[in-house]
Amino acid sequence: MIYATKQVKNPNHSRTALYLIPTNPQASYALPILMRSNGANQIMNTNKKTKQSGFTLIELMIVVAIIGALSAIGVPAYKNYVKKSETAVALSTLRALLTNIDMEEQETGSFPSNLTNIGASSAINNLGTLEFPSGVSSAIQFKFGSESTMQNKIVRFTKSSSGWSCRHDTAQTLKSCLVSTF
């Protein structure tokens, strides 16, 4: 079988090909033997300056300054939030026991002197301890421990003939509990 060569320019591609075409008319194939791209012979220009990308030192310093300013505002706000939440935990712990104290007082006729009588223990949570304060009658208090951000601060409920009153020395603003010093 004898082949003839023919250079064909494909309109869909930007390359010219050299094909081997069979001389037998019954053959339905053509084999490419050489392909050349139009851009293959271009010389690469290495003298062009490429545009550099990235951040300058000034831009990075501005970002660091902004992060520093935000953290200077955010950290004290977060600490205040933690103190408020710890005070709320102490209040809810004490309020949960007020009904038990009232029931124990009605059953026995006197204010309870033992935490187990009202269904509690001194280490009721990891923020502090519950106790009946010495020298104060008809009172129960929550004293913050070393695990808390408000170490040795006190939230106290005292019972009087008009009901329960709350006092604390945590320097937090609580609507239902008055600030006091003990």
Q: Which domains does the chain have, with CATH numbers?
A: 64-179 (3.30.700.10)
Percent of the chain with pLDDT over 70: 70
Which of 166, 157, 161 has the alpha carbon at shortest distance from 139?
Answer: 157
Encoding tokens for residue 19?
Answer: 């094909």
Q: Is the pLDDT of residue 21 over 80?
A: no
The model carries a pTM of 0.60
pLDDT tier at 126, thresholds 50, 70, 90: confident
Please state the rounded mean pLDDT for residues 147-152.
88
Q: Is the pLDDT of residue 28 over 70?
A: no
